[in-house]
Structure 1
Amino acid sequence: MKQPVRGAHGKPANKAKRKTREELNQAARDRKRDKKHRGNASGSRANPDVSVSKAGQGNKSKDPRIGSKKPVPLVADGATVSAPVKKVVKPVAAKVRLSPEEELAQLENSERLDALLDRMENGDTLSAEEQAWLDETLDRIDELMEQLGINMDDEAEDEQAEEDMYRLLKGN
Structure 2
Amino acid sequence: MKQPARAANGKPAARAKRKSREEINMEARDRKRDKKHRGHASGSRANPETRTSKGGRQNDTVKDPRIGSKKPIALVAEDQTAPAKVKKAVAKSAVEKARLTPEEELAKLENDPRLDNLLDRLESGETLSAEDQGWLDAALDRIDELMEQLGIAMDDDEDEQAEEDMYRLLKGS
Into which bin does the TM-score normalised by the smaller protein fall? 0.3 to 0.5
Name which structure has the greater RCO, CA cutoff 8 Å, separation 6+: 2
The structure with more radius of gyration: 1
TM-score by length of 1: 0.38
More helix by percentage:
2
TM-score by length of 2: 0.38
